[in-house]
Structure formats: structure tokens, C-alpha cells
Amino acid sequence: MTLRGARQVDFAYQAVYRYMINLINEVSSDTRVKLPSLRQLSQRLNVSISTIQYAYSLLEKEGRVYSVAKSGYYAWPLAGSPVSWPSGDLLERLYVAARRPGMVVLSGDEPALLASLDGTLLGLERELVRQYPRHLQPWSQPCGVWELRAALAARYTTSPTRCWHADDVYIGADLRGVLDILIEVLGLRGSTVIVESPCDWLILRVLRDAGVRILELPWSDEGSLDLVMLEGMLRSEPVHLVLLSSSVSLPSAVAMQPRDRQGVAKLLDQYACWLLENDSCGELGFKQPQAPLRDLVNPERLVVFSSFEKILGPEAPFGYALARHSSGELQRQFLLRAFRLSSIRQRAIARVYQSGRIDQHLHDLRRLLREQAGEMSQYLDRYLGDQVSYRMPAGGGAFWLGSTQPVDMRQAFQYLLARQVVVAPGELFSVSGLHHQHLRLSHTFHGQPNLESALETLGEALRQAQIA
């Protein structure tokens, strides 16, 4: 078999990815199955080893395969189906279910699925490999390559007083690694932190694992923050910092209103409190962007974190942070982590920013996301009707749905798993028992053929799980 010339609109790794999906489905069993090596697949499909590696990395990111040092790649076994688990970690059950063949996965939030820059990145990499032969590449750049750090600094600079420099930017292997470092540098272990709620489960689990005491500040059904509650927390609790989104908060898909932004900034200044700003979806708002929260607070008590994954896709998994202070400790922590990052991939991303291609990409991505959200809204109204309530998302790739009747959402989750549908129960996005009547539903289905059937099944699951 050869992939050269097949579906010329695709890059080779995409064809390899599809081939591997079919292969995994063919070999899936109740025991782990070793998959072909990089070299074997390279010879079989007549593509480069690096192309095979890209495909495997994406499959590993999706949880379909896992790697064993000095052994190779393996497909996850089908044993231990979450359908039969009466209890256990809900997030683990979701992940295991999502990687089983044949599942309709509506639990994710992957906006970049609709518009990928993988072709652009691969083309830039080919140019850069010629420009930067391996022997000319610096052996170690623990905080990221200078070109990408400078590009991000320029991107975040908005005025002479709201400016950033390359030395203020730190790039890590992924978002979790960057968050782990920030917890150490900011001294968050054992401290008290206010977090918007619902909040991404990765952030919540990283904080919880570090022994952080989390106070949740919930978004209202109307899409606003309770500033009176926030002030009460700041006044009565030993709050170290507040963690909020820059503009669009996910999974609730709420855009912070100007009045809320001004109110939050005023309270943070009044109580001399730090802001840890999550900018993961800051550029995925559907409407004209307002001034982000970071431009309203004291820059000396500000740290911003984000990743490229939401806007560029899994080919750009790097996380990053911006901070004007603690540079020595940040550099030390990044050096200790010894992140092994592709300098060529970082330079390719930098060129996407420097050339302005990122702006056209974001324009196209936001348009596609907005169209998909409108289409999904029609499906929700048609198949779920008055069973759920929701606000149209202000950005991103998912809906935040609330059940209009009291339901046992875990029971609904189990019912759906038994029928090969995966959604994300709302309780995953809280550490204090909030959002039990909610769920996150992706709208980046991209022509999912089973969507209508899956939504009908969701409606039945909610009916079956109603609490008398």
C-alpha cells in the first residue's frame, strides 16, 4: 500500500491517521495489542517516519493508543468497559469510553478540529529544516525558542504600559506542565484560590492535586459574575489569587461583560490580589473582542497562561505563561523540568504569528465555530426541546446545557454509554458539587452522521433519569 498521491487535498499524516484508526478498530480486543512500529509503517505506507510519528502522537493525544518505552505503541484494550462500572472516577470512565471504537463522542471541546493549520506548519517546518540544520540548532532552550517567545510577547502587547518582552514568556511541553510550574513559583500549595465555575477539569485537578483550597465563584444563568460574593470571599478568606478567563469562559461559553470586568479589576486592586488569567479561548469569541481582563489589572500582580491547542490543534500542544516577575525562579523551574520541545515546530508556529497568517486562520475558525453553533442550536431545539435550557455560546466549541427537570445525570451518563454516546456531565467542572444538572456538549461535530440519533438518545436518557 502507498499513500503518495492519495487524496491530494490531505497531508500524508492525515491519511496515516485514518489508516491507523481502521487498523485499531480491526485489532481491538480485550487484551492490549501491539501496533506496528514507526519503521514498519513507514515502509508499509511509503511515507517518512516523522509522518508516522505525527499520526501516532495525535492518536495518543486522543487516548486511542499509548506508548511503552523501548517497546512501541499499543492499542488500548476493550476490557473494563465503563458501561459496566458501577462507580469509580467519572473522568476516567469518560476517557475510557471516548476511546472505544464506535462511540459517538460529544463530550469534547476541540475548536481547532474545524480548521487546522497542520498543512501550513508542516510546510514551514520543511523550509526551516533547510534553514536550521540540526547541527546549528541550540542544544537547549528550556523556556522555548526566542522567535516564538518574541512573537507571543508582541501578540500580547497592547500599549507602552501594557507591554511584554520575550523574556517574560515561558513555553512548556503542554498546559499541565506549565500549570505545575506556576503552582510552584506562585507558592499555591496549601493556599486558597478563587476559581470561576464551571472550570476546565484539567485546571481543577492540577490545583486539587497540589493541595490548593479552591473556592468556586459560579457564573449565573444570565452569564454574569456575582461581584458581591467575590468581594465577600476576598474580605473574609486568605485568598492568594483569583483564576478567571480573559474574555470567554469555558465550558459555560460566557463572555465577561464590560461591567463585570471593571468590577473584578477594581476588587482585585482593592484587595491587592493576584490574577491568574486563563487565555486558552481568549481569541475564540464570536463577537468583536472587548478589552481582556489582563488589560485592566495591575500588571505586577498578573500571570497569564494559555496553550496553542485550542486554536492550532493537537499538532501544537505547547502551553505557555507570561509573567513580568519571578524570572529567575521561572527559568529554574523550566530548566528542572527539562521539556524536550521541537525547536523547528516552535519556529514554525512563530512564523504563523509573525506573518499574520494566524489572524486569517482565527477569522476563518471563528466563522466556522459560529456557524456550527447555530446549526447545533437548531438540532438542540428540534430533538431536546424544553428538556434543556442553554445560552448561545459566546465562543469556543461547546454548549453548556442545563436540564429543566431534576435528573440523576450520572444515570443519564451511564444510559448513554450503554448506547455508545459520550457526553461530559457538569459535575466534572466543579470540586464542590456544583453543576449536577448540567452537561457539556461539543458542537464541532463536523458532519457527524450519528448526531441526530445521539441527540434523540440524549433526550431519552434525560427522561429516564428524571428524579420523582
Tens of pLDDT, residues 274-332: 999 999 999 999 987 678 899 999 999 999 999 998 999 877 889 999 999 888 999 99
CA neighbor of 341 nearest in space, from 364, 308, 310, 368: 308
Q: Are residues 37 and 126 in the same domain?
A: no
Q: Which residue has the cell 459517538?
A: 104
Q: Residue 404 sits in which domain range? A: 90-108+360-465
Per-residue pLDDT reduced to its tens digit, 79-133: 444 444 444 688 888 887 877 777 888 998 888 888 878 778 888 888 888 887 7
CA atoms within 13 A on the CB side of 54: 24
Report the pLDDT value the prediction gives residue 337, as an integer from 0 to 100: 81
Cβ proximity of 362 and 395 under 8 Å: no
**What average pLDDT is seen over the chain?**
86
Q: Tell me how many domains the chain contains.
A: 3
Measured torsion, CA atoms of residues 187, 190, 192, 194, in degrees rounded to the nearest 10:
80
Q: Are residues 180 and 310 in the same domain?
A: yes
Residue 98 lies in a domain: yes
Q: What percentage of the chain carries pLDDT values higher than 90?
A: 54
Residue where one domain finishes, among candidates 355, 374, 406: 355
Q: What is the CATH number of the domain that holds 20?
A: 1.10.10.10
Amino acid at 80: G
Residue 4 lies in a domain: no
Residue where one domain finishes, among candidates 327, 355, 383: 355
Q: Are residues 167 and 297 in the same domain?
A: yes
Confidence at 55, pLDDT banded by 50, 70, 90? confident
Helix ranges restricted to H, 169-214? 175-185, 201-209
Q: Are residues 169 and 318 in the same domain?
A: yes
Q: Are residues 297 and 191 in the same domain?
A: yes
Q: What is the CATH number of the domain that holds 367?
A: 3.90.1150.10
Report the pLDDT value the prediction gives residue 30, as an integer from 0 to 100: 55
Query: For residues 414 and 384, what is the distance between their CA atoms, to the nearest angstrom?
Result: 18
Q: Are residues 42 and 129 in the same domain?
A: no
Cβ proximity of 23 and 48 under 8 Å: no
Report the pLDDT value the prediction gives residue 319, as an integer from 0 to 100: 94
Q: Are residues 261 and 379 in the same domain?
A: no
Q: Are residues 294 and 348 in the same domain?
A: yes
Residue where one domain finishes, among candidates 75, 100, 125: 75
Q: Are residues 103 and 19 in the same domain?
A: no
Among 68-72, 245-249, 319-323, the range of highest mean pLDDT: 319-323
